[in-house]
């Protein structure tokens, strides 16, 4: 994979763990897929949502993603992209820094656990 110039994303996308990447660099991952991006230089990685754009020489990411990968804006990134399966998606939902995403995810997991517990208690009675 070629090295791409790192650029910031638009203000309304800050803090959502999104990366804008041309389709030719997504390694088979579709738009809105959760993927693991790994910085080949230092082996740091993070889970992100992939979005597209038309610039095939740049990768757009917010401050938090750059911090996770230990890189700075305007550097070049040598990276790999790997689409994750549903456990990785669940991990992204629970670990993302955006409270509008991780709080409902935690509530959903707790609700599922309580309903399974209720089902087991109801069936054993």
pLDDT of residue 116: 96
Structure-derived torsion over alpha carbons of residues 55, 58, 63, 66, reported in degrees to the nearest 10: 150
pLDDT of residue 75: 87
What lies within 8 Å, CB to CB, of 108 at 6+ separation is: none
Domain containing residue 69: CATH number: 2.40.40.20
Angle at 66 between CA 62 and CA 69, to 5 degrees: 145
Tell me the residue range of the domain where 25 lies: 4-124
Q: How far apart (Å, rounded) are the C-alpha atoms in residues 116 and 125?
A: 14
Tens digit of each residue's pLDDT, the chain (125 residues) = 678 889 888 777 777 788 999 988 888 888 999 999 999 999 999 999 999 888 889 999 988 899 999 998 888 889 999 999 999 999 999 998 888 889 999 999 999 999 999 999 999 87
SS3 state of residue 90: helix
Q: How many domains does the chain have?
A: 1
């Amino acid at each position: 994979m070629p090295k791409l110039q790192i650029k910031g994303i638009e203000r309304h996308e800050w803090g959502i763990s999104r990366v804008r990447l041309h389709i030719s660099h997504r390694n088979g991952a579709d738009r809105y897929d959760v993927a693991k991006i790994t910085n080949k230089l230092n082996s740091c990685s993070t889970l992100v949502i992939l979005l597209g754009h038309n610039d095939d020489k740049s990768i757009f990411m917010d401050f938090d993603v750059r911090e996770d990968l230990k890189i700075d804006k305007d550097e070049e990134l040598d990276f790999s992209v790997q689409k994750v399966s549903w456990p990785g998606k669940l991990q992204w939902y629970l670990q993302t820094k955006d409270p509008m995403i991780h709080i409902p995810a935690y509530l959903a997991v707790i609700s599922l656990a309580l309903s399974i517990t209720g089902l087991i208690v109801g069936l054993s009675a």
